[in-house]
Amino acid sequence: MTPRPARNGGNDARGGGRGQSGGGQGGGRPRGAPGAAGGSGRGASGGSRGSTGGPGGGSSARAAGGGGSGGRGGRGRPVGGAKTRLGQPGGLSPAPPERDRVDVHDPDGTRLQKILAAAGVASRRGCEQLISEGRVEVDGQVVTELGIRIDPLRQVVHVDGVRVQTDLDKVYLAFNKPLGVVTTMQDELGRPCVGDYVAKRRERLFHVGRLDTDTEGLLLLTNDGELAHRLQHPAYGVRKTYVAQVPGPIPRDLGKRLRAGIELEDGPVAVDSFKLLDSAPGRAVVEVVLHEGRNHIVRRLLEAVGHPVIALARTQVGPVLLGDTKPGKTRALTRGEIGALFAAVDL
Q: How far apart are CA 52 and CA 31, in angstroms?
A: 15
Note if 139 is an active site residue.
no
Q: How far apart are CA 62 and CA 50, in angstroms?
A: 7
Q: How far apart are CA 257 and CA 306, in angstroms?
A: 12
Cβ atoms within 10 Å of 274's Cβ, excluding its own: 20
Q: How far is CA 129 from CA 68, 125, 142, 242, in A?
A: 37, 6, 14, 42
Q: Which of 212, 214, 224, 266 is catalytic?
A: 212
3-state SS class at 340: helix
Q: How far apart are CA 66 and CA 48, in angstroms?
A: 7
What letter represents residue 187's amino acid? D
Q: How far apart are CA 212 and CA 177, in angstroms?
A: 10
Q: How far apart are CA 322 and CA 42, in angstroms?
A: 59
Residue ranges of the alpha helices (H) in the chain?
10-14, 57-60, 112-118, 124-132, 225-232, 254-260, 297-304, 335-344
Looking at residue 310, what DSSP letter applies? S
Task: Give the active site residues.
Answer: 212
